[in-house]
């Protein structure tokens, strides 16, 4: 596991559990206590956690920092690939409709769709420029890219035109990405315009499937776009804290733990 991914999981565990211990973290990630202390020092400098004697406690600040698509694509790549494969089981019947949100995990999922012979039987609507280009280049006929403004940092289409179009559409399944997932704040992201498009997809879909690697659990971003009541399925990876997974299931959400190589 790369240091960046380990720190993301530590941040998530701290947010979920409220407090983490250096010794327990070292055992969990099979590294030295000194390595964990360095991780906590970096996370403390970023404002993600607060260091205390023997460990760290959660920060209560809402995050606003966004990373480029290229930077995010290199983070938790094994988990994202496993999640994308697990999401295939939630595709609708032939001739059904899908909403595909923007995001690197969704892009990995779209890569799998582009190789699926059944993909020609679905109507796919997306607000992600790379996903639309990928699927169209694969020869899929029913791919619609929403109109609007393109956010350079995420390559997502946003704005009133996209929202007006989505208001007229319905889909069997919305596959949604998120920057963060908490029990209190639900799904959240840094940008209000992207949040509005995600929200519109959720409202106009029969089923909502969230693709969320473990590093995003317990994190909180500024703009909430869905509550837990809006979610049907969460697909995550084996790094997800068991207490968090149990809490989601108690809320009636189906949680899938994706394993690499499935």
The domain spans of the chain are 3-58, 69-258
Residue 11 has pLDDT above 90, yes or no: no
Mean pLDDT in residue range 240-251: 91
**What pLDDT score was predicted for residue 45?**
81
pLDDT (tens digit per residue) in 52-101: 888 988 766 555 555 555 555 555 688 899 999 999 999 988 788 999 99
The C-alpha atoms of residue 261 and residue 82 are separated, in whole angstroms, by 7
Residue 219 has pLDDT above 90, yes or no: no
Averaged pLDDT of the chain: 87
pLDDT (tens digit per residue) in 40-52: 999 888 777 888 8
What's this model's pTM, rounded to 2 decimal places?
A: 0.77
CATH of domain 69-258: 3.40.50.1360
| Complete DSSP assignment for 53-106 | TTEEEE--PPB-----HHHHHTSSHHHHHHHHHHHGGG--STT-EEEE--SHHH
The C-alpha atoms of residue 247 and residue 235 are separated, in whole angstroms, by 14
Looking at domain 3-58, which CATH architecture does it have?
Orthogonal Bundle (1.10)
Residue 173 has pLDDT above 90, yes or no: yes
**What pLDDT score was predicted for residue 72?**
53
Mean pLDDT in residue range 129-150: 92
Residue that wins the pLDDT comparison between 176 and 7: 176
CB of 178 closer than 8 Å to CB of 187: yes
**What pLDDT score was predicted for residue 66?**
55
């Amino acid at each position: 596991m790369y240091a960046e991914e380990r720190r993301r999981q530590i941040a998530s565990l701290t947010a979920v559990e409220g407090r983490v211990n250096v010794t327990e973290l070292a055992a969990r990630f099979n590294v030295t206590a000194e390595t964990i202390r360095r991780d906590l020092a970096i996370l403390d400098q970023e404002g993600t956690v607060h260091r205390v004697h023997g460990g760290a406690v959660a920060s209560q600040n809402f995050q606003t920092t966004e990373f480029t698509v290229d930077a995010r694509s290199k983070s938790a790549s094994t988990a994202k690939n496993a999640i994308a494969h697990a999401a295939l089981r939630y595709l609708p019947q032939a001739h059904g409709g899908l909403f595909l949100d923007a995001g690197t995990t969704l892009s990995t999922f779209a890569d799998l769709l582009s190789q699926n012979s059944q993909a020609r039987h679905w109507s796919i609507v997306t607000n992600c420029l790379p996903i639309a280009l990928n699927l169209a280049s694969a020869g899929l006929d029913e791919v619609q890219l929403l109109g609007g403004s393109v956010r350079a940092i995420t390559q997502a289409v946003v704005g009133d035109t996209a929202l007006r179009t989505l208001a007229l559409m319905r889909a069997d399944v919305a596959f949604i990405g998120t920057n963060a997932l908490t029990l209190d704040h639900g799904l959240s992201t840094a940008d209000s315009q992207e949040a509005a498009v995600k929200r519109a997809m959720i409202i106009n879909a029969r089923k909502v499937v969230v693709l969320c690697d473990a590093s995003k659990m317990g994190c909180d971003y500024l703009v909430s776009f869905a509550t837990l009541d809006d979610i049907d399925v969460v697909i995550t990876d084996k790094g997800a804290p068991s207490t968090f997974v149990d809490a989601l299931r108690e809320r009636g959400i189906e949680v899938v733990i994706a394993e690499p190589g499935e």
